[in-house]
Amino acid sequence: MPEISRFLGIVVYMLYDDHRPPHFHAEYGEYKVSIDIHSGIVQGRFPRRALKSLLEWYELYREELLADWQLAEQHQPLNRIPPLE
């Protein structure tokens, strides 16, 4: 589970050999979500405040997430993405 960012107790990661469409995963305590990079559709559950922060981060770094998705498809090391400040 290659971690690409961590902030406010949220761990963001991608998986190699994961199914399409391009997406990323996040965990916050016992909560887990996956978010489609193109549409922003969320699957899973997060507390409201944590989800709001995660979606804000996603909007800032959508292009970087797509670049990491392409690297993951090629089994290349993923780039770290700055945390939400």
The string of DSSP letters for 53-65 reads HHHHHHHHTHHHH
Is the residue at 38 inside a domain?
yes
Both tokens assigned to 43: 């699957």
> pLDDT tens-digit profile of 59-83?
999 999 999 999 999 999 999 999 9
What pLDDT is recorded for position 85? 85
Is the residue at 48 inside a domain?
yes
Q: Which residue has the higher pLDDT, 1 or 71?
A: 71
Please name the residues in contact with 76: beta carbons below 8 A apart, sequence gap of 6 or more: none
Rounded Cα distance, 14 and 23, in Å: 8
Q: Averaged over 5-30, what is the pLDDT?
A: 96
What pLDDT is recorded for position 71? 95
Both tokens assigned to 65: 């997430």
Is the residue at 83 inside a domain?
no
Domain extent at residue 38: 3-73
Number of domains in the chain: 1
Is the residue at 33 inside a domain?
yes
Is the residue at 56 inside a domain?
yes
Per-residue pLDDT band for 1 (boundaries 50, 70, 90) equals confident
Is the residue at 26 inside a domain?
yes
Is the residue at 41 inside a domain?
yes
